[in-house]
Structure 1
């Protein structure tokens, strides 16, 4: 089978490309980055993306869109850019599939940000969506685009709502922030109270979840949570990080809530478990691997 990874140079896209090359797939990559040596790689214009030639000239059985912006603060600062990357871009991909590869399975990476502050925990896919940021709104709109293309054109679509993904290669968000603060500051200041919580999933588990969805998903405009169903506080993550890094700095929470950030998340992953998903990477092992990678990266 042929699989197209759009955003193949990004954090999730790189891991997905590496994994599916080890499986029974011919992997095509697509991104805005110049790559003169990559096999089966398509470069697109960052300011005016166009996917029609890719789908017109190649057989694509599965397309995973890993591209787009992934920053709540930047979506607040640059909402139009975020809209173009996370919403308009999805429309262009869906339209190219409709025109040239109507049997292609299309997975778009959505986000738990579509939920905002949920009515209760665990968060089910059926919950009403209350995004708190332009980023969350644009991800919700991308899901609506997939719904449109399934309803009117019978495209095989699936939106995966990823919770807090982490792992080697991610140079942003909580773990990267913790590493850089611990190696350069005497005291570590973090936003919030420390009681805010997230549902973390290691990149290796996330990619295996995508493989299960390709194999067992209905692709009838379904939405699927990708997480581990475990609620971990930011304080717990920070203290675990400190313990594994074996440092002594104090961790201080400033009691300020970042605009657009929800308070507590834990996913209902019944759909994913029904496909055979199992959590393979513990948070402790995942953080240990991340610290080892970060040290090598900074040396």
Structure 2
């Protein structure tokens, strides 16, 4: 039985990974700073890995693979200096040294580490992060290359679908569908031309499972993406009845210094390594889900 330790596993991606691995017979331990969880796993450990030497509480001797989803700085963080980021990663360096000989899968950020580019980007493209979150991920990658011998860095694009929480706008696709279902206005804080590479959560989970089961144990870097970008305008136009959706554009808090207008990642390396296909299906997904919403509404009896 493959024994997997998921760090920061109490969120959207961690929950999706845990459910899939548990269903396939893996022994899964989840670590999170949260005191409560709805995730079903073999063992749940409450631990704040941002605290120095917290990693010493982790027993990793009987673990085969470590999946790291921890974020030391939230994605929307602003006004954080490089020195502050370095201090926040002191505990992370201790963690890497603690799990040095383990098969280690690190979730980086394909949407932030490369910066702006009008062209599709491969893993060899220079890293040009704009936001504190992207800078943090690049610093973590540097530490991994110095310390870890069996690390695989995953530069993941924007996941959607499954159990994603959508009410508060975490994940554009989910929030778009939430607004469509509830008849709520969709507020945009960036231009509609903003383009991203979106990957279905089940495809992401499948790729990670293939990596766990593969013979790829030496250091490497992979984009986990579809290789195709969709603009916010494309996603909005994909709903079943565009006239039902009210759009409010509010750029009053628009952060131009951190803004990435387009991001699409070449996925040929991961597809060739694992023999899988990661395709763009986000607009079809939106159409299907919004059509289901309309069918359900039509089926409701008149009041």
TM-score, normalisation: structure 2: 0.79
Q: Which runs of 5+ in 2 are unaligned?
A: 294-303
User: Which string of whole-angstrom CA distances, capped at 9 and with x for unpartnered residues, describes residues 3-43 of structure 1?
Assistant: 10111211111111111112242111111122599632221
How many residues are aligned here? 280
- Secondary structure of residue in 1 paired with 2:152: strand
Corresponding residue for residue 123 of structure 1:
121
Q: How does 1:1-299 map to 2 (within 5 A)?
A: 1-35=2-36, 39-45=42-48, 48=51, 50-55=54-59, 58-68=61-71, 71-73=74-76, 75-77=77-79, 83=85, 87-98=89-100, 102=101, 104-112=102-110, 113-118=112-117, 120-150=118-148, 155-171=149-165, 172-179=170-177, 181-182=179-180, 183=182, 185=184, 188-216=186-214, 218-240=216-238, 242-243=239-240, 248-251=244-247, 253=249, 257-259=254-256, 260-274=258-272, 275-279=274-278, 282-284=281-283, 286-287=285-286
Partners of 1:61 and 1:128 in 2: how far apart? 32
More helix by share: 1
* Residues 163, 96 of structure 1: alpha-carbon distance in 2 compared, 3 angstrom cutoff: same
User: 1:27, 1:40 within 8 Å by CA — same for their partners in 2?
Assistant: yes
RMSD: 3.2
The change in CA–CA distance for 1:178 and 1:129 in structure 2 (over 3 A counts) is same
Give the superposition deviation at 1:185.
4.3
Q: Secondary structure at the match of 2:78?
A: helix
Q: Distance in 2 between matches of 1:178 and 1:69?
A: 28
Q: Is the contact made by 2:68 and 2:107 (CA closer than 8 Å) also made in structure 1?
A: yes
Q: Give distance in 1, aligned partners of 2:108 and 2:176.
A: 25
Pair 136,278 (structure 1): closer, same or farther in 2 beyond 3 Å: same
TM-score of the superposed pair, with normalisation by structure 1: 0.80
Pair 236,32 (structure 1): closer, same or farther in 2 beyond 3 Å = same
